[in-house]
């Protein structure tokens, strides 16, 4: 059947249109042109980085962690002892919340203290090679770094073996032509791979038995049950102070590990925005010999800290808190028996959900790569400000092994080589076992506890390590 000329012209028009022959030039594009590809958002940059560097370490747990990080977090309500405690607790119970510290199974502490072989630091902190995270080996054997999280230039750099020198055994007088020139971006990627490739080493680090669990009766933290994603209402003032403080429940762990007593002298080295200082003040008795020194480096952060103190504590309490604006690596007097150092870190949950103030912004790459050195210096400063026999708690809100166990290992090695200060790791198994109903802990942390986010109880991430200064 022959086509009429009209139908033929109509088909010819459709064909030409599909072939873009008659498409206006400004509507034509080539997908391969770089300027047509949308740049990755800061959140997407962070997620790709985590896919590449966290997945090899957390393995089968990573898909669950990834989804949880991208989901809405849960919070806890830390009750303020300077408000109407009974009324606040009754209101929180009426909406279905419960104090997870009261429901903690403290009775298991004796069993946990006698069993340090389960998820606890080993004597002399000797780490078997099978548990180390060496990306050079895993790339060859397990394809550890997830290439989907990296762009083409990054994948090529990984395939090149991080730019390893293949002529290291040649005669030094022999001329070796340059095989590849790396851009500044490639060099930064090599540095990032090196910093994230935490490989645990055998170091002589004593492990002390766990202290008995001793939760302060003045510290109360209410959470909703597993799977309940209800939100707490905004706190209302009671007796002139807000009734509770909303925070991530995992942020309570560093203060519990610090085991603050009413007459302790406490230094909060990186105090702002003030959540952990708030909890410390619940356990301290500032009228009975207790002291709290809060420090931070930025005026804006100190302003937030002062605002927290003003809203939650009577004036005679907030005025007794010493607040300083100093670099945390500065020299502090060695007068504190308890020191908390909650260091700046990747802030994983913020990094994958907020583009503002995101460390994974391309222009902040060098700042992010310098975090591990800052963390190490802060921890050394905290140890030096603690009296012999005192306790230091190191904490982060990241899953990065290099910023968690890696910093503890690096500090222990540096102190052993450059000073006469001796430290030991305190076993945290009782804390882990007693709170296992509320938190999910990672089983490969060498020197502390790592809280993994889960969909049922979406707290964390958080890392806590407890150290004791011996001399």
Tell me what pLDDT residue 194 has. 66
The whole-angstrom separation of Cα 306 and Cα 185 is 40
Beta-carbon contacts of residue 149 (< 8 Å; ≥ 6 apart):
47, 48, 49, 50, 51, 52
Half-sphere exposure of 450 (CA within 13 A, CB side): 21
272 is in an annotated binding site: yes
Please tell me the predicted confidence (pLDDT) of residue 392: 98
264 is in an annotated binding site: no
Q: Is 355 part of any known ligand binding site?
A: no
Residue 214: pLDDT band with limits 50, 70, 90: confident
Least confident of 74-88, 139-153, 191-205: 139-153
Question: Residues 66-101: pLDDT tens digits?
Answer: 999 999 999 999 999 999 999 999 999 999 999 999
Parallel, antiparallel or unpaired: strands 76-79 and 291-296:
unpaired
What distance in Å separates the CA atoms of residue 407 and residue 390, rounded to the nearest whole number? 20
416 CB neighbour count, 10 Å cutoff? 15
Which among 52, 84, 225 has a CA at the least distance from the CA of 155? 52
Give DSSP secondary structure letters for 281-298: HHH--TTTT-EEEEEES-
CB-based contact 437:449 (threshold 8 Å):
no
φ, ψ of residue 324 in degrees (nearest 5): -130, 150
Cβ atoms of 350 and 342 closer than 8 Å: no
On whether the 48-130+201-469 domain is CATH 3.40.50.150, my answer is: yes
Ligand-binding annotation for 338, yes or no, is no
Active site residues: 397
pLDDT tens by residue, 288-342: 999 999 999 999 999 999 999 999 999 999 999 999 999 999 999 999 999 999 9
227 marked ligand binding residue? no
Rounded to 5 degrees, what are φ and ψ at 228? -90, 115
Tell me whether strands 237-238 and 241-242 are parallel, antiparallel or unpaired: antiparallel
CA separation, residue 321 to residues 56, 265, 285 (Å)? 44, 11, 11
pLDDT-based confidence at residue 272 (cuts at 50, 70, 90):
very high
pLDDT score for 113: 53
388 is in an annotated binding site: no
Tell me how many helices (H) and strands (E) the chain has. Answer: 18, 16
pLDDT at 17: 57
The more confidently predicted of residues 308 and 109 is 308
- Domains of the chain: which residue ranges? 48-130+201-469, 134-196
Give 341-369 pLDDT, tens digit per residue.
999 999 999 999 999 889 999 889 889 99
Check the annotation: does 30 bind a ligand.
no
Q: Which two tokens stand for residue 96?
A: 């279905």
Instruction: Consult the annotation and say whether 342 binds a ligand.
Output: yes
Structure confidence at residue 201 (pLDDT):
74
For residue 231, the tally of other CB atoms under 10 A from its CB is 11
Distance CA 315, CA 324 (A): 18
Residue 271 labelled as part of a binding site: yes
């Amino acid at each position: 059947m022959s086509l009429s000329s009209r139908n033929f012209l109509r088909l010819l028009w459709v064909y030409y249109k599909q072939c873009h022959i008659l498409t206006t030039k400004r509507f034509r594009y080539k997908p391969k042109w770089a300027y047509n590809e949308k740049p990755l958002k800061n959140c997407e940059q962070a997620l790709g980085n985590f896919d590449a560097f966290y997945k090899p370490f957390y393995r089968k747990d990573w898909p669950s962690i990834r989804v949880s990080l991208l989901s809405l977090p849960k919070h806890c309500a830390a009750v303020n002892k300077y408000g109407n405690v009974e009324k606040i607790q009754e209101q929180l119970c009426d909406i279905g919340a419960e104090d997870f510290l009261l429901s903690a199974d403290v009775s298991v502490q004796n069993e946990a203290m006698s069993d340090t072989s389960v998820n606890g630091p080993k004597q002399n902190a000797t780490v078997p090679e099978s548990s180390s995270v060496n990306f050079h080996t895993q790339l060859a054997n397990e394809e550890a770094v997830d290439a989907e999280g990296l762009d083409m230039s990054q994948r090529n750099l990984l395939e090149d073996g991080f730019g390893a020198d293949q002529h290291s055994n040649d005669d030094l007088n022999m001329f070796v032509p340059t095989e590849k020139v790396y851009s500044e971006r490639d060099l930064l990627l090599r540095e990032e791979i090196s910093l994230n490739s935490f490989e645990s080493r055998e170091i002589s680090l004593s492990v002390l038995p766990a202290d008995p669990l001793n939760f302060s009766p003045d510290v109360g933290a209410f959470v909703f049950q597993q799977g309940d994603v209800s939100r707490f209402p905004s706190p209302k003032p009671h007796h002139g102070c807000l009734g509770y403080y909303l925070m991530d429940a995992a942020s309570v762990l560093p203060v519990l590990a610090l085991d603050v007593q009413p007459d302790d002298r406490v230094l909060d080295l990186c105090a702002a925005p003030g959540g952990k200082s708030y909890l410390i003040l619940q356990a301290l008795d500032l009228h009975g010999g207790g002291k709290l020194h809060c420090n931070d480096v930025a005026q804006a952060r100190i302003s937030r800290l002062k605002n927290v103190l003003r809203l939650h504590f009577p004036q005679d309490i907030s005025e007794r808190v010493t607040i300083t604006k100093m670099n945390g690596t500065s020299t502090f007097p060695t007068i504190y028996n308890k020191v908390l150092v909650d260091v700046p870190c990747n802030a994983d949950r913020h990094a994958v959900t907020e583009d503002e103030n995101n460390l994974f912004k391309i222009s902040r790459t060098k700042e992010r790569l310098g975090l591990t050195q800052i963390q190490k210096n802060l921890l050394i400063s905290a140890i030096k400000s603690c009296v012999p026999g005192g306790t230091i708690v190191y904490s982060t809100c990241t899953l990065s092994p290099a910023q968690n166990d890696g910093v503890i290992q690096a500090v222990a090695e540096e102190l052993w080589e450059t000073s006469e200060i001796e430290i030991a790791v305190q076993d945290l198994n009782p804390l882990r076992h007693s709170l296992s109903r509320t938190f999910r802990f990672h089983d490969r942390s060498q020197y502390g506890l790592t809280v993994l986010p889960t969909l049922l109880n979406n707290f964390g991430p958080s890392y806590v390590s407890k150290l004791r200064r011996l001399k």
